[in-house]
Structure 1
Amino acid sequence: MNTNRRDFLKVALAGAATALTTNTAQARPPKDLPPDAVGILYDATLCIGCKACEVGCKNANAMPTITDPALEQAKDVHAIWDASSDLDSRNLNKIKAFAQGTAAVKDREQDGYSFIKRACMHCVDPDCISACPVSALTKDPLTGIVGYNPDACIGCRYCQLACPFNIPKFEFDKPFPKIVKCEMCRHLQAQGEIPACCAACPTGASLFGRVSDLLQEGQRRLNLPPGTYQDYPLHRLDSGQQRSAEVRGYHPHLYGETETGGTQYLLLAGVPFENLGLPALGPESSAQLSETIQHTLYQGLAAPTLLLGGLVYTVYRRTEAERHADDVEERRHD
């Protein structure tokens, strides 16, 4: 009986090992941008740091504000309004500033400064969706917007760990917390409106439109000669409203065009994006890589079978050794 059990375990282990080595899965293909996907083009050279987009976002999404009496400054300025310096559970988008040296000239890397707007990038192949175990985060098949369902969320915060842009935030101060992130005002879009940040922007720095059109607009701006005056659309790409502004010169890259498989939130700036706190990412999403590895390991349940078989065999060998030792001890006593 013991010989048969041992032979069975050896055969099971050999079969699992063979399945693991011969049953390899193909790489998961990258996901494509929906043809009518919408997005936002943010142009830091047009941004004046007024934060009207932050106010519009809060009003449109019923986000709380906070005033801290301890934050008082001179000249009778008391209780600074919502003075957080980065995205948090009360802010879906945030205007931040980069400064170097004397910060005397806007949109210049040396002795210059630049604004940058942080919000959900709405990745084409989102890591947060891949990491979420309960599908609380989903990607709209038409608009491409990454939406969040608080009723499905279990609060694991895997999305926070997975996001390469550090976007999702968690309401640590609430008894029943949820994840907070920009959803590109999808509730307003359902009513024929545009995201509140784009509607509130007075300079055209935040521009709404189809991603395919925004990509063309971004490339057009990269080719504009610095020092000339050009017309820039306001609020949305097809609004018909424009304002003239001087081309200050761009860092030669449209951020989000290729990063992590592409994003629907595109950025232009006059300084390198690494200076603005944005990560340098390759063209392949982590979701594609991780899911390829997982599918390879678990295809046909080869890896779990191998692991379970190894554990069972180890326990069996140990049990047999203990039985043999007990038999020896009993014979010694006899």
Structure 2
Amino acid sequence: MATITKPQGALVDLTKCIGCRGCQVTCKSWNQRSTKKTQMTGNFTSPGDMNSETYTLVKFIENDKDADVTWDFIKVQCMHCKNPACASACPVGAFTKTPAGPVTYEPEKCIGCRYCMMACPFQIPKYEWDKKYPVVQKCTFCAERIADGMEPACVKTCPPNAIIFGDHDKILAEAERRIKEHPEKYVNHIYGKEEAGGTAWMYLSSVPFDKMGFKAGIPKGPLPDLTWASLSKIPYAVGGLAVILSAIAFIRNRGNSDSAVPPDEKGKEG
């Protein structure tokens, strides 16, 4: 592949996904993330949810179709929003939206406030709660591979070619073409085209996205302004609460001081 000069995008066609977890395994290998023992819970998704060691997770979704139980699969990772709320919420600029598309993270800048976790509409960033010096972890969109003109590791390894990668506009056009030419095969919605103002990762599905476990009700417009407007009030809210608690403590303590003066001594004050 040539050197990347335009915003990149990826399309996951869930009608082609076979749930092999190849993308999940390759992601762990490329990013050198550890594995942990998991327990069977009646669902084949393993681990049960995203964590700081799992950038990509293939979820197994059980659905009913024509009175039969069917298995569908979804690939979950950072969506790499065009206007990332995590970047706007971070007070130290640890997140950066790169021209090529990836939202990158600089752990040496992180102060551990975790505003990014609260801001993300897809609930992707995870914190290393079990580490002595924790940082935030998430999918990198293989930014270093893209910078070198290569496709992300998960895209390269997908056996049924359920994931395609390239210039964002071309990927979006391909998604629209597939829906137009095969309306009987896909729901008429490209997840990621408008959610949160648009994302680098997009999805096609034959099953409504809410039944596939995708986040529903995400605003179509960019979230940074809304996110910062909310998060910026936190210091003031905390400060206001401190003032209120201090006032309550003052009144309570003053009452205690008054009651500590013997009745026969109160008339002598002043």
State the 1:58 CA deviation: 0.9
Gaps of 5+ in 2: 237-242, 244-268
How many pairs does the alignment contain? 231
The aligned residue for residue 13 of structure 2 is 43
The aligned residue for residue 287 of structure 1 is 224
Q: Is 1:39–1:265's contact at 8 Å kept on the other side of the alignment?
A: yes
State the 1:97 CA deviation: 1.9
In structure 2, do the counterparts of structure 1 residues 49 and 103 end up closer, same or farther at CA, with 3 Å as the change threshold? Answer: farther
* 1:273 paired to 2:209: yes
State the 1:271 CA deviation: 0.9
State the 1:206 CA deviation: 1.4
The aligned residue for residue 196 of structure 1 is 153
Which one of the candidate residues 127, 131, 138 is aligned to 1:170? 127
The aligned residue for residue 260 of structure 1 is 196
Give the whole-Å Cα distance in 2 for the aligned partners of 1:281 and 1:96: 20
Spell out, residue by residue over 1:130-172, the C-alpha distance to the aligned partner (whole angstroms, 9 max, x if none).
Answer: 11111111111x2121000010011111101110101000111
In structure 2, do the counterparts of structure 1 residues 44 and 294 end up closer, same or farther at CA, with 3 Å as the change threshold? Answer: closer
In structure 2, do the counterparts of structure 1 residues 119 and 290 end up closer, same or farther at CA, with 3 Å as the change threshold? Answer: closer
SS of equivalent to 1:41: strand
Identity %: 39
* 1:179 paired to 2:136: yes
The aligned residue for residue 87 of structure 2 is 129
Give me the CA root mean square deviation.
3.0
1:233-244 maps to which residues of 2 (within 5 A)? none
Gaps of 5+ in 1: 1-34, 74-81, 106-110, 227-247, 298-303, 305-310, 312-332
Q: Is 1:125–1:288's contact at 8 Å kept on the other side of the alignment?
A: no
* 1:159 paired to 2:116: yes
Spell out, residue by residue over 1:21-58, the C-alpha distance to the aligned partner (whole angstroms, 9 max, x if none).
Answer: xxxxxxxxxxxxxx810121111001000000011111
- Higher gyration radius (CA): 1
Give the whole-Å Cα distance in 2 for the aligned partners of 1:292 and 1:66: 38
The aligned residue for residue 33 of structure 2 is 63
Q: Which TM-score applies when normalising by structure 1?
A: 0.63
Q: Is 1:103–1:113's contact at 8 Å kept on the other side of the alignment?
A: no
SS of equivalent to 2:15: coil
The aligned residue for residue 260 of structure 2 is none
State the 1:290 CA deviation: 4.3
State the 1:83 CA deviation: 3.3
